[in-house]
């Protein structure tokens, strides 16, 4: 990449002087050279990208992504995962420690960082709270942070011992680190398959009650308040969780939270067809929960939206619903889902660009002259089909596979590299 001109795109980036204006952006050797209206370019070798009818902003950042590397590369490796992220508009992703071995020591953190080095998408590993994600003994958080861990979580294993979570919050406070809680009381959830409610009763399937999540949210909020520590909840899914976090914020508790994009669109009624691609954890909840999540997004209770990208081989999904693995791939479909949920351009930027970076204290790309180019160009109205030719992930476990979607990423620029979705 040498010289690129993105022309006639609407800038959406809060606090930018040209927010809401239609602008041109000239990029030379990975650095923003000029930003303005109707730029005149003398360079004949410039690569022009027509941004008419598109939104330009800083690149998306995903706080909850699952790749398989190390150990589960048949699901997704860093190369294919970052390719899917790039085509989904992401220039940065936080990868969770749901690997084998888990990201629970400095060697695994260093492996991820070194493998992803030089990629168009920046990859930030999230280290385990506990050794082997077993929830028994604290992992070496300081060592992991020193080599690049961006936060700490036991991934899709919720920390069941209150004492361990208490010590983790206190230790993280001492090293200025962030604890990410996946809230599920396993003794209440019972390893069940879907949301507990009318649909689960109709289908004759055991369900996970909202209480399994809200109990753990309540516990961890109490611990964070007690230690005056910072906590982040990932993938909240219930009305009760939204209300608990909203009240905690008004009290001054240092809490943030995110929601998975699919939980903003689908309810447990989607499970009526027994499509295992709708099997996720936390499960799809009721329409009342969906409405509460959307309200939480709009009033600022929910700070970010995540893809919760969770790839699986076909043999783990093309089976009966009861034995299928949890999770869907989501890096390329988060933008269309947010559009389907009714979010406007500024809402999308706030929840995919601004909020995530604020939570993990990452520098906000400026889109200003002289700054490193880190941006996304996307459309709210362009349609495309999510199928084998457009999917960049190794896996295909998505209920959206084969469907026409609205909302498309046209290009990203980061680390001196350009990825275009033609």
- The predicted-structure confidence for 68-92, as pLDDT tens digits, reads as follows 999 999 999 999 999 999 999 999 9
| CA gap 6, 37 in Å, rounded | 11
Q: Is there a contact between 270 and 311 (Cβ–Cβ < 8 Å)?
A: no
d(CA 279, CA 277): 5
**Total residue length of the chain:** 422
Q: Cα(111)–Cα(228) distance, rounded to whole angstroms? A: 33
Q: Answer whether 194's CB lies under 8 Å from 266's CB.
A: no
Residue 155, both tokens:
């991934």
Residues of the chain with CATH 2.30.40.10: 3-56+368-420
Indicate the fold that domain 60-359 takes in CATH: TIM Barrel (3.20.20)
Per-residue pLDDT of the chain (422 residues; tens, 9 = 90+): 589 999 999 999 999 999 999 999 999 999 999 999 999 887 778 999 999 999 999 999 999 999 999 999 999 999 999 999 999 999 999 999 999 999 999 999 999 999 999 999 999 999 999 999 999 999 999 999 999 999 999 999 999 999 999 999 999 999 999 999 999 999 999 988 899 999 999 999 999 999 999 999 999 999 999 999 999 999 999 999 999 999 999 999 999 999 999 999 999 999 999 999 999 999 999 999 999 999 999 999 999 999 999 999 999 999 999 999 999 999 999 999 999 999 999 999 999 999 999 999 999 999 999 999 999 999 999 999 999 999 999 999 999 999 999 999 999 999 999 999 98
At residue 72, the 3 state secondary structure works out as coil
Q: What is the pLDDT of residue 299?
A: 97
The pLDDT assigned to 214 comes to 98
Q: How far apart are CA 6 and CA 25, in angstroms?
A: 5
Q: What is the separation of C-alpha 137 from the centre of its chain, rounded to a whole number of angstroms?
A: 27
Q: Looking at residue 292, what DSSP letter applies? A: H
pLDDT value for 43: 76
- Alpha helices for 332-371 (secondary structure H): 334-340, 345-349, 355-359
Q: What pLDDT was estimated at residue 102?
A: 97
Which residues touch 13 (CB under 8 Å, ≥6 apart)?
19, 57, 58, 349, 353, 367
For residue 339, what are its two tokens? 């559009």
Beta strands in 253-391 (DSSP E): 255-260, 304-306, 375-385
Which homologous superfamily does the CATH classification assign to the domain defined by 3-56+368-420?
Urease, subunit C, domain 1 (2.30.40.10)
Are 263 and 296 in contact, with CB atoms under 8 Å apart? no
Per residue in 223-279, pLDDT tens? 999 999 999 999 999 999 999 999 999 999 999 999 999 999 999 999 999 999 999
- CATH 3.20.20.140 occupies which residues in the chain? 60-359
pTM above 0.95, yes or no: yes
Of the chain, the percentage scoring pLDDT greater than 90 comes to: 96
């Amino acid at each position: 990449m040498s010289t690129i001109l993105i022309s006639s795109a609407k800038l959406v980036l809060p606090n930018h002087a040209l927010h809401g204006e239609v602008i041109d952006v000239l990029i030379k050797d990975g650095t923003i050279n000029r930003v303005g209206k109707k730029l005149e370019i003398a360079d004949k070798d410039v690569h022009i990208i027509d941004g008419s009818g598109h939104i330009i902003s800083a690149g998306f950042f995903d706080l909850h992504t699952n790749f398989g590397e190390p150990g589960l590369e048949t699901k997704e490796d860093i190369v294919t995962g970052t390719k899917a992220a790039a085509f989904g508009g992401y220039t940065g992703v936080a990868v969770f420690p749901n690997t084998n071995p888990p990201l629970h020591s400095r060697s695994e953190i260093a492996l991820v960082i070194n493998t992803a080095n030089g990629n168009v998408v920046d990859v930030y590993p999230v280290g385990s709270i506990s050794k082997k994600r077993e929830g028994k003994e604290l992992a070496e958080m300081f060592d992991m942070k020193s080599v690049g861990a961006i936060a700490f979580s036991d991934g899709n294993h919720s920390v069941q011992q209150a004492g361990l979570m208490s010590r983790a919050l206190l230790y993280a406070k001492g090293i200025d680190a962030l604890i990410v809680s996946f809230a599920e009381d396993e003794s209440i959830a019972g390893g069940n398959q879907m949301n507990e409610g009318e649909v689960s009763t109709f289908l004759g399937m055991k369900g996970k009650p909202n209480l399994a999540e809200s109990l753990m949210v309540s516990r961890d909020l109490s611990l964070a308040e007690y230690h005056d520590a910072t906590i982040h909840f990932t993938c909240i899914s219930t009305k009760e969780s939204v209300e608990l976090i909203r009240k905690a914020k008004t009290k001054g508790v240092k809490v943030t939270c995110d929601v998975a994009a699919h939980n903003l669109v689908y309810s447990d009624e989607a499970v009526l067809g027994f499509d295992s691609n709708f099997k996720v954890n936390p499960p799809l909840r009721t329409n009342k929960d969906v409405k509460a999540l959307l309200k939480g997004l709009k009033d600022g209770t929910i700070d970010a939206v995540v893809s919760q990208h969770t790839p699986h081989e076909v043999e783990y999904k093309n089976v009966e619903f009861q034995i299928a693995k949890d999770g869907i791939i989501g890096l390329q479909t988060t933008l269309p889902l947010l559009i389907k949920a009714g979010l406007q351009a500024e809402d999308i930027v706030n929840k995919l660009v601004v909020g995530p970076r604020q939570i993990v204290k990452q520098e906000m790309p400026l889109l200003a002259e002289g700054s490193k180019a880190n941006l996304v160009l996307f459309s709210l109205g362009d349609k495309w089909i999510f199928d084998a030719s457009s999917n960049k992930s190794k896996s295909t476990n998505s209920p959206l596979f084969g469907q026409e979607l609205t909302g498309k990423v046209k290009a990203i620029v980061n680390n001196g590299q350009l990825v275009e979705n033609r």
